[in-house]
Amino acid sequence: MKPAINSMLFFLLVLSAGTGCKKGDTGPAGTANVFFSEWFTPNAYIKDTVFGVWGFKYNKAVPAITQKILDSGSVLVYGKLLGYNPAIWPTSQVSQLPISITYYQTGHQVDIWEALVSPGNIRIRFTNDHNIYNVIATQHQFRYVIIPGGMPTAQMTNMKYSEVARLYNLPD
């Protein structure tokens, strides 16, 4: 009789354990798959010439950028251009590349900062429309955010950096 009672109690315990659990509510989507870099400062740029326009480029190896990310996700690159006079580009300002800065210095000038993203690499390139620079400041800082496919990215290019940082919990 005792083994029958023990078997019955064990059966009831197993039955209640399986039926007593309830699946919880679905929580908000997290950012577990979003990857971001720390702010980095290129230590040196390589001068190049494309169609007669001088440029300065810096290549950042980023193994996390795969062809799959490029095909179905997004890579956002942001700049803090700390090498400019704060009257031209405030030190607290952060924008997504490409960045175009127009100012007057011995004539009308346009500086353009671009990011070319390819598998395993981000190339940051600077040009000035009048080729006035032989070297450029190395104080500028950059950060990238990698958002894999399946996550909403359509409006990211229209969002301010502060909005993207808040959405994905990016630290300063």
Which are the contacts of 43, defined by CB distance < 8 A and separation ≥ 6? Answer: 138
User: 0.85 cut: is pTM over it?
Assistant: no
The C-alpha atoms of residue 152 and residue 95 are separated, in whole angstroms, by 20
Query: For a pLDDT cut of 90, what percent of the chain falls above it?
Result: 55
What is the chain's mean pLDDT, rounded?
83
In this predicted structure, what is the pLDDT of residue 159?
Answer: 81
In this predicted structure, what is the pLDDT of residue 78?
Answer: 97
Q: Is 76 helix (H, G, I), strand (E, B) or coil?
A: strand
DSSP state of 158: G
Q: What is the DSSP string of 29-51?
A: ---TT-EEPPPB--S--EEEEET
User: Which tokens hold the place of 144?
Assistant: 């990238």
pLDDT tens string 139-172: 999 999 999 887 656 567 678 899 989 988 888 7
Mean pLDDT for 39-55 is 92
Among candidate residues 94, 74, 89, the one with its CA nearest the CA of residue 151: 74
